[in-house]
Amino acid sequence: MPLPDPRLDELLAGGAPRLEPLLRWLGEASPLPSPDGEARRTSRLRRLHTALADRGLLDSLAEEWRHASAIRLLAETGLPDRTSFLGEGLLRVVDRVIPRLDPEGDLYALLDRLDLDEADAAWIESLPEDLKTAWGSLLDPPPDIWTHAARLLAHRAAAVGLSRDLLSLDPEGSDADSPFFNLTRAVRERGERPLDPETGLAWEHCRTECARALGQAHDRLDARGVSTDLVFRLDLLEAQLERIAQLLRFVSGNGDGAAFAAQLVRGSASQHGLMQLLSTTVKRLARKVVEHTGDTGEHYIARDRAEWWTMAWSAAGGGALTAVTALFKYGLLALPLAPLLLGLSQTLNYTLSFCLMQLLGFSLASKQPAMTASALAKALESEDGQAREIELVAAITRTQVIATLGNVCAALPAALLISGLWIWATGRGPFGPETALHNLHGCDPFHGWTLVFAAVTGVLLWLSSLVSGWATNWSAYRRLPEALAQSHRIQGLLGKRRAMALGRFVHRHVAGFVGYLALGFLLVFVPIAFAFAGIHLEVRHVTLQAASLALAAGSLWTQGPMPWGELLWGLVGIALIGALNFAVSFTLALWTALRARDLSGLNRRRLWWGILKAFNRQPGRFLLPPKASDTLDVPSPGVPYA
């Protein structure tokens, strides 16, 4: 015989029981099994059923459970409230900060207020069969509520499925062919005649066709480019179709009440979580971004000796151009400009230089690591043996070595030449004594925070690579090159051939231009943002620092004895800055790519161990020009849009 419970007696003393206080009383007890084998919460649930039966209150509780909001509870719990990613994210942020006044007796809001979690769902699933049967028969809503909930969801799913951007994913199909046209009718007929085999077949056919349409939409996005908002709606539609199927099973009398209740509890627990929304919706976009980044990264991998030399000359051109960029940088710093104007002018200086580099086919070494890391992650996804992956790592490192050497070895003499011409024209160096010494000390690895600044710059290089990948994805999703080439307005202005050429130009350069624009902005405005917070931060970009060091050395040559010791330490610092730029950006990009692709940790550890053994046996393979036997079998960069 159960022991008396004064708290329960108090809750039932008023006659008709109130649902929320009873649920909170249940929730106060632990859901975990006790020493006698049954959880305290389960024991309370038994006592509650007995007390309600003794007082004749079972029907009153069932009536409260059949509140009109039960339709909302069944149809909406665990599903997003909005049909757009940004709208849903904003709603969840606002709900976390600002309380909401819900209607009295709203079961959906009640479930949300209880702050349930995974342990509560597991407890429901573990209930003994006698309690599941007793409470299931008591709380099971009538068939019309299940039907109304299914029809409500069907109308919402049809509206999302027939939205213009989803229909446009199949440009060759007719809008009237969409299976979502028939969804509401199939659900209504199944709800009205749940035992009719014909309505069951019609519903299953409609559901299968809707699922097939969603699968084709996902495939088209994967082949083209991803929109986070579209991915969110496709996932929403899949969840809505699954919920409709569950509701119709209850209409037919085939539902599992305990399992569905546990699902509602889990859905309520996760419904307002912002991180879960980000992780489930953004992962596909992240994967597509790193795929595009990896495709760009294959341009920066020298597969044979000829491409190795091509990269060397390309990097030399980038280094020489960067020497001019460094001169303009310090010329702008000497002007009496307001911080905003100075920042904008410096960003313009970097961006114009980097974009000119892109147009001339030159290379900036520190831009490559994040790109090539994504290419490595793409190779890791295939299962064609570790030898090819190790050779890819070797190709990446030796290409990066020659690119960095090409940048630095060209930037140094180009900057010295600029200094010599400046001295010949003006009789003095381009820098004053204070600026020259500051630049010299800025390269010293043991002076100030040089190495920390170099690591932070690696983070900025990684961020710019993500922006570049996003731009390529956006261009592919919008089919921008094709749209420009076929635009009647642009063809009217430029002619058909020039419009086609514009499309090819955008296809070839959109990733580089946007990435370089982001890099120029980050190199300038991130230190300014830190300065607002009272934190001193400078960028240490290996090629810019090499040019700055040479300009400083040329200026000091005319101002007295040359500090050779500090100059030598500056050269050591250039090498360490380059190593940190590479290591940080490559590591972050590889980590991002591996996370986006969900590659197993065991395979990654085996790869790194294989790389260490290969480097120990043949270090020159990772640093020197490739031999004929080391030719890397990777696809050549794709043919530009034509």
pLDDT digits (tens, 9 = 90+) for 159-193: 999 988 888 877 776 777 889 999 999 999 999 99
User: Rounded mean pLDDT of 577-591?
Assistant: 83
pLDDT, residue 293, reads 56
pLDDT, residue 369, reads 56
Which of these, 481, 525, 478, 530, lies nearest to 505 by C-alpha position? 481
539: left (phi over 0), alpha (psi -120 to 50) or beta: beta
Residue 624, class by beta-carbon neighbours within 10 Å (0-12 exposed, 13-18 middle, 19+ buried)? Answer: middle
Say if residue 100's pLDDT is above 80: no
- Kindly tell me the sign of the dihedral angle through the C-alpha atoms of 30, 32, 37, 43: positive
d(CA 311, CA 396): 12
User: Rounded mean pLDDT of 627-639?
Assistant: 50
Contacts of 635 (CB under 8 A, 6+ apart): 298
Give the Cβ contact number of residue 492 at 10 Å: 10
Say if residue 639's pLDDT is above 60: no
pLDDT, residue 241, reads 94
Give the Cβ contact number of residue 598 at 10 Å: 9
Q: Which residue has the higher pLDDT, 303 or 207?
A: 207
The three-state secondary structure class of 346 is helix
Instruction: Provide the Cα torsion 224, 229, 230, 232; round to 10°.
Output: 120
pLDDT digits (tens, 9 = 90+) for 593-611: 666 666 666 666 776 777 7
User: Rounded mean pLDDT of 491-513?
Assistant: 89
Tokens 């710093």 belong to: 333
List the chain domain ranges: 66-272, 318-363+404-599
- Rounded alpha-carbon distances, angstroms, from residue 450 to 331, 443, 456, 580: 22, 7, 10, 11
- Rounded alpha-carbon distances, angstroms, from residue 134 to 9, 15, 54, 255, 258: 21, 21, 15, 16, 11
pLDDT, residue 281, reads 64
- Kindly tell me the sign of the dihedral angle through the C-alpha atoms of 530, 532, 535, 541: positive
